[in-house]
Structure 1
Amino acid sequence: MKQRMRFALLADEGEHTMTELCALFEISRQTGYEWLRRYRALGAAGLVDRPRGPHRHGRATPDAVVEAIVALRRERPTWGPRKLVAKLRARAPETPWPSASTVGEILKRADLVSGRRLHRHAPPRLEELTRPQRPNHVWCADHKGWVRLGDRERLEPLTVTDGFSRFLLVLGATASTRTEEAEPLFEQAFREHGLPDVIRTDNGAPFASSGATGLTTLGVRWIKLGIRHERIDPGQPQQNGGHERFHGTLLREAMTPPAADRAAQQARFDAFRHDYNHERPHEALGQTPPAHLFRPTPRPLPDRLPEPDYPPEAAVRKVRQAGEIKWDGSLVHITKALVGEPVAIEETHDGEWVVRYFDVPIGIIDRRTRKLRRRPVPRPGDRPAKTTDQVP
């Protein structure tokens, strides 16, 4: 640094030619002119050592590619590097797009990455639940936590996704968890896509009740349609983990901030649903949108609901207006969800009276208290072994 300063000061005095000064300091004329230029432009700071590496290495990502990545991230601020790469490759497969890790570094340099909180979850118990094997095998349903719309009205959206393809079947801007709001949305989904084999929900309204049977009006209709209702364990949302993660995406991309009113929020939901199904890459699907895997079910919604077909030796009782049946000289409360419906009573090897509706066991009549109690999780050998032909 001192040598460069001496050279620059002597050159500025003009008493020596550039050739003489360069020979004195044992440098090339090109270096001499460069030192002098930097000194005259920046003063002493211009003579400080500079990095010797190239301004741009040969493997740097082209500017046009970087600009496309940044532009898509600004368009989709909730998408991570993998989704961005998948979408860019779909748009321009001929372009050599960088890896997801390189895209992550590009986003960091562009200050487009924020820290993420880590969440700890209890280990899931998915072995007790049906694993989706094909589209429309298992539907997952829930209500997203409620928020206030711009007009201060309550919003508690109903969501239904296909467990296999992640296809978003229902996204309704409902105001509550009432059956009156949920049932028409399920009926519309059944008409559009057919009937699933299983619907998985939590234990809240309108899917389940606190009574011994756990049945609701919605659950009764699903039984009639041949749909098995599968409820996760209380307080274990991770058993419906894929659907819960979807709710996080929904909150970030279509509910923050909430719309001005319900109509505006539903319009926003409709646009989000199309984008989620047809445009947004899904990591669990190999970064393809859900619509690439989803197919309608071959089971259409029937025009008429079937009646239960119980064996002739079963004791059949119709549920009365108060939700009760007459059995063994006593009134046994079943559930108001089955008012007017026939149920069958069958006796097991252990002498228990099992009550079922269609082929679904809904409880056991306690011989001592004459009250219906919940049936434990079925084990091998628990199926009814004989029926009672007496009519108490």
Structure 2
Amino acid sequence: MVWRETGIMDERLRFVVECLSGEETMTQLCAAFDISRKTGYKWLGRYREHGPEGLHDLPRAPLNHGRATAFDLVERIVAAKEAHPLWGPKKIMARLRRSDPSCGWPAVSTAGEILKRHGLVGRRRRRWKAAGNGPWPEPEGPNAVWTGDHKGWFRTRDGWRCEPLTVMDASSRYLLGLEATGSTADEEAWPVFERLFEENGLPDRFRSDNGPPFASAGISGLTPLAVRFIKLGIALERIQPGKPQQNGRHERFHLSMLPMASAPEADRAAQAQAFEVFRRSYNEERPHEALGMDTPAQHYRPSTRPMPKTIPEPDYPAEAAVRSVRQNGEIKWNGDFIYISKTLAGEAVAATETEEGEWALHFYAHRLGFIDGRHKKLVRRSAVQPRPDGTAADNNLGGKL
């Protein structure tokens, strides 16, 4: 009799019952059921040990197969995840391989399965993709572009309002500053930047949004912090309103520090300490995929432009019309007064005539806009409209000294 595909449990049970009845020998029963004596004794032994449940098929996979990850490696992978709960298996394995390159670490996919078995993998969120570099060229190296922003505020456990100020090098992703400031005011931001400039030197350009303390809603868009940057020879890059992707790398970083806002510290001092621990880990331990799983610290180096001891005077062209900004923010132009910015009160600005006959107004190397002589005001963009033949139309924006 052959084991049947259907009712196989019934066949095994009938075999055992007849075997226990003793009416036939094991050899005779095995021949009748068309099985080997080894198989017959196996089912009889399982029945005696476990009862009818022992006649079910057991899993075929070995408890320990030759390709299983060694227990000590599993422990180290799990420990690394517990130490860095926000890291995925890619960063975990990159960190472990860097710390012990001679060890036979498993693949990232295997590490992911290990973390999943230990309940250390949560629901995967939709990944935020940082788009491009906006309208500007890619930074050619460290300190070519620094980026800055204020992360959304939260309160520490004692009720203090924290407005985290974040500053990053765009090329290396090195987190230069993560400060527990209490507002977006210039007087809180400048000491942070002053220290960063002293420690790291000056960047060539600085990119930000159009909010305080980096920019204002006035026609010049200047704040006291922006004025200091300009006087230090730092070019300003401002993203377009409603286009956070133009500062996408910085915005993506803010997602990495988001959990800190949901688990605030006891007070301002404790929050500042937690920020510094996070900053060091981000720079020196956390692998970055855009850097080939290197850390930002492996790619950053200080600027070759040191913070000057004294601020240099503006070097305006000899042919420029230099004007001093009055306390009310105006300059005198062609017998009239034109408002520029109260932020520039006491500073010297210079107007130079363009090939189209306009007067472009500058503060140091920063262009403030164009003088509209007809309406006696400063405008941000040129109003010269090219004719079909390519020449400029006379829009009477200029004025005589």
Alpha-carbon spacing, 1:187–1:71, altered in 2? closer, same or farther (3 Å): same
Q: 1:147, 1:377 → 2: CA distance?
A: 44
Which residue is 1:387 aligned to?
none
The share of aligned pairs that are identical, in percent, is: 54
- 1:371 positional shift: 0.9
- CA drift of 1:98 comes to 2.0
Letter matched to residue 166 of structure 2: T
Q: Partners in 2 of 1:216 and 1:262 — Cα distance?
A: 26
Q: TM-score, normalised by structure 1?
A: 0.90
Q: Which moved more, 1:182-191 or 1:35-44?
A: 35-44
The question of whether the paired residues in 1 share the 8 Å contact of 2:135 and 2:246 is answered with: no
Match of 1:195 in 2: 202
Distance 2:384 2:363 in 1: 16
- 1:361/1:375 contact within 8 Å kept: no
Equivalent residue for 2:83?
A: 75
Q: Secondary structure at the match of 1:77?
A: coil
Alignment of structure 1 residues 284-299 onto 2, 5 Å:
284-299=290-305
- Give the 3-state SS of the residue equivalent to 1:211 in structure 2: coil
Please give the residue correspondences for 1:1-392 in structure 2 after superposition, counting only pairs within 5 Å. Answer: 1-13=9-21, 18=26, 21-22=29-30, 24-118=32-126, 124=131, 126=133, 128-252=135-259, 254-375=260-381, 392=401
User: For residues 156 and 382 of structure 2, what CA distance do their matches in structure 1 show?
Assistant: 42
SS of equivalent residue, structure 1 residue 126: coil
CA distance, structure 2, for counterparts of residue 125 and residue 344 of structure 1? 35
Displacement after TM superposition at 1:391 (Å):
7.0
Q: Is the 8 A contact 1:146 1:157 kept in 2?
A: yes
Q: Which amino acid aligns with 2:83?
A: E
SS at match of 1:365: strand
Q: Structure 1: how far apart are the matches of 2:78 and 2:29? A: 50
What stretches of structure 2 of length at least 5 have no aligned partner? 1-8, 392-398
Q: Which amino acid aligns with 2:294?
A: T
After alignment, is 83-92 or 63-72 more displaced?
63-72
Residue 216 of structure 1 deviates from its aligned partner by 0.9
Q: Give 1:65 deviation, angstroms.
A: 2.5
Distance 1:262 1:36 in 2: 73
Runs in 1 of length 4+ with deviation above 6 angstroms?
Answer: none
2: CA distance between counterparts of 1:176 and 1:296?
Answer: 28
Contact 2:134 2:245 survives alignment (8 Å): no
Separation in 2 of the partners of 1:367 and 1:350?
14
Amino acid at match of 1:62: A
Counterpart secondary structure, 2:189: helix
SS in 2 for 1:243: helix
312-321 vs 178-187, greater mean Cα deviation: 312-321
**CA contact 1:315–1:391 (8 Å) conserved in 2:** no
Alpha-carbon distance in 2 for matches of 1:295, 1:129 = 22
What displacement does 1:45 show?
A: 2.1
Shift of 1:85: 1.0
Checking the alignment, whether the CA contact within 8 Å between 2:322 and 2:348 is kept in structure 1 is: yes
- Preserved contact between residue 363 and residue 374 of structure 1 (Cα < 8 Å): yes
TM-score (norm 2): 0.88
C-alpha distance in structure 1 between counterparts of 2:127 and 2:74, whole Å: 31
Q: Which amino acid aligns with 2:209?
A: D
**Quick check: 1:319–1:341 contact (8 Å CA) kept in 2?**
yes
CA distance in 2 between partners of 1:377 and 1:41 (Å)? 95
For the residue of structure 2 that corresponds to 1:156, the secondary structure is: strand
Shift of 1:93: 1.2
Deviates more, 1:215-224 or 1:26-35: 26-35
CA distance in 2, matches of 1:260, 1:371: 51
Cα distance in 1 for residues equivalent to 2:88 and 2:12: 49
- Greater displacement, 73-82 / 226-235: 73-82
Write the distance in 1 (CA, Å) between the matches of 2:28 and 2:83: 61
Q: Distance in 1 between matches of 2:118 and 2:85?
A: 13
Q: Which runs of 5+ in 1 are unaligned?
A: 383-389
**1:40-94 per-position Cα deviation (integer Å, ceiling 9, x unaligned):** 3332222123344444443333333233222222221111121011011112211
Q: Distance in 2 between matches of 1:190 and 1:237?
A: 25
Determine the C-alpha separation between the residues in 1 that align with 2:24 and 2:79.
56
Aligned AA for 2:39?
A: T
* CA deviation map 1:308-358 (0-9, x unaligned): 121232111111111111111111111111111000112222222211111
